[in-house]
Structure 1
């Protein structure tokens, strides 16, 4: 039986990292990563973000820009910690001095290979973000410009550019989703969503309950990206600069403003049951079927560990629901 969310905002959010999950609650964050030996490593820290405590962070449309930049900064920090877990493990792993020389050489080769593979994975992810910026900003505009000789309407050209941007994004997601590392990353993404949905539906945070929760969530960054693309279609329509380089530059410079508008829209879509906002959230939820996968129990355990490091979920459930559902069931199953 699936657990359905009841729209009780917990205040927590997060993202998937290499073999783990980052969760944030206000100024605290935790990154939990599954080590190669099966143990879970957790790093807890504070993150205040840009202009911490400033009134500017409370202004609608402007606050979304800070949230966007903070997400990039904390995301990089979390990915760096996750990659360091494997790099440190593999670099400092020393074989037994009693083993044969040939075995030692082979172990050293494997260790270096794994360390390089992890570093390459992080570099690839960062490079992918840079490529994505070019793909989803400049390329759609350039392709749409090729049709300007045949399409005289600026409205149609703007719609074509927006449609191309969404099409390229979906193709990009589908392509990287074929990589094994990305499949695991998307599964941890699903674990992150399931943990939050489990709590926001009033259920105790345990593997059995989290497993039944939905892997789709309205406040997901994937939905945010889709809002960014939809807002850009409208905003770019009003740009009338003729120079191609300047038009591309303006599109890049407008990303913070687009992020601010998109943030306000996703807040409405996530926290309102008004039918218009629910319909607006649907495309983002559909996109999450590509950016999330069903996690296994070991991934769910990592997500739970990350939540528990920075969030008193029992107090939250008592305050929000007056009851903790499903805790007795988990206790019975563990006996």
Structure 2
């Protein structure tokens, strides 16, 4: 684990073709005033500091993730666990970079408690509430109809929630970093120079986005529940069946995104990715040049051939 600071510039310098390894799978997520990028063997986090410079933190990809990351279906579950494991820590780090007052133990503990409460609240709203409401419709629509109602209600609540929080300036800015992450990855995949001017030409949407994964999980979960609700319509057995189905759904959703993302030149590939691309209209925003700069710093640091001068004491 290492960290360093990158001076702010008006534009990120170009990277000459050949200085970075092309054709490798990269991805990331938005942070607080920053971006996380995950390469084949390391994770790079870049965040803007109050003085305008960019803080950079680099970690190795967890060994357990590398060992099983190439196994079909299993890699989807691994990706989900890794994104939660690494992503939560990256969010906490970026929050302390953007706001140094958060570095106190009390602030850190408060942030972790808040994150835990947010996860519990999300589960209650997007999973428990649709299940409870849908259960009231059983006499009228039956077990299969109940699953349809539950699935539709879950998607509606998800979209309504995203549209609501998007109005907050801080959330909208984070969505701008999400757009910057997509533009940077697209510039890399397009084999162009990794600079702000090139990245700005790309769209803020991307076929392999976590938003698409989230939507696919919601749809596949509804399909899975259609089967399990007939056998275990209620009670502890239903809950156990749903919990056991989570890794299966995550694994299948991940494979769907991978296959569709490689075949966007075909109609069926575009059809599979289109709903997720629509939803990204809410979860991304057009970034400014400073946000693109941060995303590109993280991207270059995550690539195997990227030169990094790090301070081990960080």
TM bracket, shorter-chain basis: 0.7 to 0.9
User: Does the 8 A contact of 1:199 with 1:313 survive in 2?
Assistant: no
Post-superposition offset of 1:119: 7.4
User: Does the 8 A contact of 1:83 with 1:122 survive in 2?
Assistant: no
What SS is found at the alignment partner of 1:212? coil
Q: In terms of mean alpha carbon deviation, does 239-248 or 195-204 score higher?
A: 239-248
Which residues of structure 1 form unaligned runs of 5+?
A: 1-7, 93-111, 315-335
TM-score by length of 2: 0.82
Q: How does 1:151-230 map to 2 (within 5 A)?
A: 151-152=141-142, 154-230=143-219
In structure 2, what is the Cα distance between the partners aligned to 1:37 and 1:69? 34
Number of aligned residues: 282
User: Does the 8 A contact of 1:18 with 1:33 survive in 2?
Assistant: yes
What SS is found at the alignment partner of 1:238? helix
The aligned counterpart of 1:278 is 270
Residue 237 of structure 2: which of 240, 246, 257 is its match? 246
In structure 2, what is the Cα distance between the partners aligned to 1:222 and 1:84? 25
In structure 2, what is the Cα distance between the partners aligned to 1:296 and 1:84? 22
What SS is found at the alignment partner of 1:151? helix
The aligned counterpart of 1:258 is 249
What SS is found at the alignment partner of 1:237? helix
The aligned counterpart of 1:137 is 127
Tell me how large the CA RMSD over aligned residues is: 2.5
User: Does the 8 A contact of 1:137 with 1:251 survive in 2?
Assistant: no
In structure 2, what is the Cα distance between the partners aligned to 1:119 and 1:213? 39
The aligned counterpart of 1:3 is none
Find the structure with the greater CA-based Rg: 1
In structure 2, what is the Cα distance between the partners aligned to 1:242 and 1:220? 33
TM-score by length of 1: 0.77
In structure 2, what is the Cα distance between the partners aligned to 1:156 and 1:313? 53
In structure 1, what is the Cα distance between the partners aligned to 2:44 and 2:277? 25
Change in 2 beyond 3 A, CA 1:195/1:217: same
Q: In terms of mean alpha carbon deviation, does 124-133 or 163-172 score higher?
A: 124-133
